[in-house]
Amino acid sequence: MVKYDQMGIFSKKKNTTTTTHTAAHSSAASNAILNALHDSVFVISGDGNIRYMNPAAAAMVNFPSEQAKGLQYASVIHLLDSNGAPVQGNQNPIATALRTSQHTESKEFNISKIKSREALPVHLTATPASPEITVVILRNITQELKEEQERSEFISTASHEMRTPVASIEGYLGLALSPQTATIDNRARAYLEKAHEASRHLGKLFRDLLDTTMLDDNKTKIKAVPVKMDSLVRDIADSMAPAIADKGLNYQFGSNDVATATISTTRKIEQLLYCSLDVDFLREIIGNLIDNAIKYTPTGSIFVYLQGDENEAIIVIADTGVGISQEHQKHIFQKFYRIDNSQTRDTEGTGLGLYIVKQRVEAMRGRIWVESTEGKGSKFSVALPRISSEEYERQKMAMESSMRPRVSTDASAPSASSNPAATNPKTAPAPAGHQISRGQK
Ligand code: ADP
């Protein structure tokens, strides 16, 4: 016979007295543990009703456990998104766990207390423990977020302060090494070249650290403008051609056939790819990926090409370099992750490049992935959402008209030049481009 214990977790009733004693003991022990836990535990049945809440959960939602039993979880666990709006339907990780029977986890939500409406940031896990029950655990992360914020502010201030002296060291070493500005003997040159290289590395580390903390603090703003991908990607990639040649590598750029629509067996038309994106971000993404391709390719070639399907424009940067093992491929987009082997050990880097690239790609609602074979080479693909040619024209016109000074057609109205609003930056038309807030889907 199946019966439910205090937590609503079903258990099979056994006949022997010993088993009943053991069961009673273990139930008392689990109760003691749940009562002592600082994390909030909710046990929810398959139909979404609450079966059990521990005391920490009752305190977190500000609602007595006895009254919560049998109520729908959504009427007790009020989740809010980062804008303070209630989390609905499929956005709710608890609903997803109940629907899919898959474990879900998130740090994105706040929980609002019943009555007082005070909101707390929480780490949420929803784990289906059996076909009948899902266990939801909420941990208050207010302190954790505060510490993270302080840490990132410290890193950001320190990197900012150190960037200036490092830039001046790099500048002076550059002057010392230039035959036009200084005379030095060959031994001193070798030392200064090493110092110059190290100061450049330090400068890059501080820049990457600053970018990383800005990204982590959601301080990076995106300025999206409509662009024609073919010419833009080509211009950015071509600007890296001298650096590729300096390393003695071949470089090829190509628009792939996938971007070409076949309209008959004999005639093909180029299908132009348009996107709405931040050009500086795209420059940084392609620059970083080509830079890596150069660093990790001792001999051979670098290929850059652009593909497209119905929904996305896909930029591919491929090399014939050292490659990345399957194991490392899982981690290379993490902060500070560097592969330490005989082929990469001597290559300078911060381990932040791919992390920043991934954040930038995702901020523009794109995806990035890698395919690679050790010893053969790597292929990085960046997919960004396409816009239609009509949408491109519409955004372009909107952008141009926002930049154009407004001329009144009304003869009685003051002219644009005499209208102070037209020249006052506070009342002038909005700048070109539109902002996408990070993480917006
Ligand atoms: P780093 O500053 O070390 O280059 P990244 O975040 O850009 O940092 O890259 C992380 C690691 O991924 C690198 O240390 C390198 O081992 C590996 N990696 C990145 N790009 C390539 C590539 N094109 N070929 C081989 N390995 C690569």
* Rg of the chain, C-alpha, whole Å: 29
Q: What is the pLDDT at residue 349? A: 84
Closest to 232 measured CA to CA, from 35, 48, 392, 426: 392
CA–centroid distance, 333 to ligand 1, in Å, is 9
CA–centroid distance, 326 to ligand 1, in Å, is 14
Instruction: Give the residue, out of 200, 247, 304, 332, with the most ligand 1 atoms within 8 A of its beta carbon, to mutate for a pocket test.
Output: 332
Beta bridge partners of 223: 435
Closest to 12 measured CA to CA, from 20, 45, 49, 51: 20
- Hunting for tokens 């211009």 — which residue is that? 235
Among the candidates 216, 248, 268, a domain finishes at: 216
pLDDT in tens, 158-188: 888 888 899 999 999 999 999 999 999 988 9
Instruction: Give the residue, out of 205, 296, 340, with the most ligand 1 atoms within 8 A of its beta carbon, to mutate for a pocket test.
Output: 296
Question: Do 317 and 194 have their domain in common?
Answer: no
Please indicate, yes or no, if residue 166 is contained in any of the structural domains.
Answer: yes
Q: What is the pLDDT at residue 58? A: 95
Question: Do 235 and 339 have their domain in common?
Answer: yes
Please indicate, yes or no, if residue 296 is contained in any of the structural domains.
Answer: yes
Number of domains in the chain: 3
The rounded distance, in Å, linking the Cα atoms of 37 and 33 is 6
Instruction: Give the residue, out of 292, 316, 380, with the most ligand 1 atoms within 8 A of its beta carbon, to mutate for a pocket test.
Output: 292
Question: Do 304 and 243 have their domain in common?
Answer: yes
Concatenating the DSSP letter of every residue in 25-83 gives: HHHHHHHHHHHH-SSEEEEEETTSBEEEE-HHHHHHHTS-HHHHTTSBGGGTSEEE-TT
Q: What is the pLDDT at residue 271? A: 64
DSSP 439: T
Question: Do 207 and 257 have their domain in common?
Answer: no
Q: Is the CB of 290 under 6 A from ligand 1?
A: no
> Can you tell me the mean pLDDT for 78-89?
88
Indicate whether 421 pLDDT > 90: no
Signed CA dihedral, 355, 110, 364, 148: sign only: negative
Q: Report percent pLDDT > 90 for the chain.
A: 59
> Can you tell me the mean pLDDT for 239-266?
74
Concatenating the DSSP letter of every residue in 151-172 gives: HHHHHHHHHHHHHHHHHHHHHH
Q: What is the pLDDT at residue 35? A: 87
Indicate whether 265 pLDDT > 50: no
Backbone angles phi, psi at 64, to 5 degrees: -65, 140
Indicate whether 344 pLDDT > 80: no
Q: Is the CB of 377 under 6 A from ligand 1?
A: no
Indicate whether 380 pLDDT > 50: yes
Question: Do 56 and 95 have their domain in common?
Answer: yes
Q: Is the CB of 332 under 6 A from ligand 1?
A: yes
Count of CB atoms within 10 A of residue 40's CB? 24
Question: Do 66 and 94 have their domain in common?
Answer: yes
Please indicate, yes or no, if residue 341 is contained in any of the structural domains.
Answer: yes
pLDDT in tens, 381-393: 999 999 999 999 9
Among the candidates 140, 161, 177, a domain finishes at: 140
> Can you tell me the mean pLDDT for 118-138?
94
Q: For the chain, what is the total number of helices (H) and then of strands (E)?
A: 13, 19
pLDDT in tens, 278-336: 999 999 999 999 999 999 999 999 999 999 988 999 999 999 999 999 999 999 999 88
- Hunting for tokens 């644009």 — which residue is that? 416
Q: What is the CATH number of the domain that holds 31?
A: 3.30.450.20
Q: Which domain holds residue 16?
A: 2-140
Structure tokens at 154: 């410290």
pLDDT in tens, 11-60: 444 455 555 667 777 788 888 888 889 999 999 999 999 999 999 999 99
Concatenating the DSSP letter of every residue in 318-361 gives: EE-SS---HHHHTTTTSTT----STTTTTS---S-HHHHHHHHH
For residues 133 and 7, which has the higher predicted lDDT (pLDDT)? 133
Question: Do 126 and 202 have their domain in common?
Answer: no
CB 138 within 8 A of CB 57: yes
Q: Is the CB of 359 under 6 A from ligand 1?
A: no
Q: What is the pLDDT at residue 369? A: 97
